[in-house]
Structure 1
C-alpha cells in the first residue's frame, strides 16, 4: 500500500510516496481505507519543523481523514492519515452522516478553516 512520508523538513516537495506492507491493527485500533484527507496549518508547520511538537524523522503527516473502517481492533510514528489505508486509534473514530461526502466529512474535524 502507498503512504506519504518525509525524511527532511521543507516545502511540500519533501513529501514522498512510499510502498509499505499492510498494517495489522492492534485491539485498540481501526484500519481506515482513506477516501479524503484534511489539510491544515499544523501539518504544514510540522513538515517544516516549526510546530510545537517535535518531529522524529522520517515522519508521516495527517490528523484528519474520512474513509471506510475495514478492521476494528504500533510504533507512535506509524500514525498519519496520508496514505491509501492507515491505522488510527479507535477511540476518536466516528461514523459520519450518510448525507455528507467523504470530503465534507473530513472538513468537519479540521481545526483551521481557510480560503
Structure 2
C-alpha cells in the first residue's frame, strides 16, 4: 500500500462532499487497509492519511513549503533589525543603487 498505518492526533471538523464514485472506491480501499493491517479504519482517518501521503510526496509542494519557511526566517531577521518590513526586489535594488551612489560620493569627496 502507498499509505502506512493511521496515526491518531487531534481532529478539527472539515465538512466535505465527495462524488459517489470516489466514496465507492474509498470503501474498497478501506477493505484493502483492513486486509493489510488487520484493523478497521474510519473514512476520515483514511482520507487524512491519503492526503498527507500525497502532500508529503509532492515535490512542488515541498519547494513551496521551503520557500515559505525561508520567507518567515527573512521576516524574522528583518524584525530583529527593527525594520519590520521586507523590501521588495525593486525596493532592494533601489536601496542598493542609492547606497552605491552615496559611497561613490564619499570616495570622490575624500
Q: Above 0.5 in TM-score? A: no
Larger relative helix fraction: 2
Higher relative contact order (CA 8 A, sep 6+): 1
Larger relative strand fraction: 1
Structure number with larger C-alpha Rg? 2
Q: TM-score, normalised by structure 1?
A: 0.22
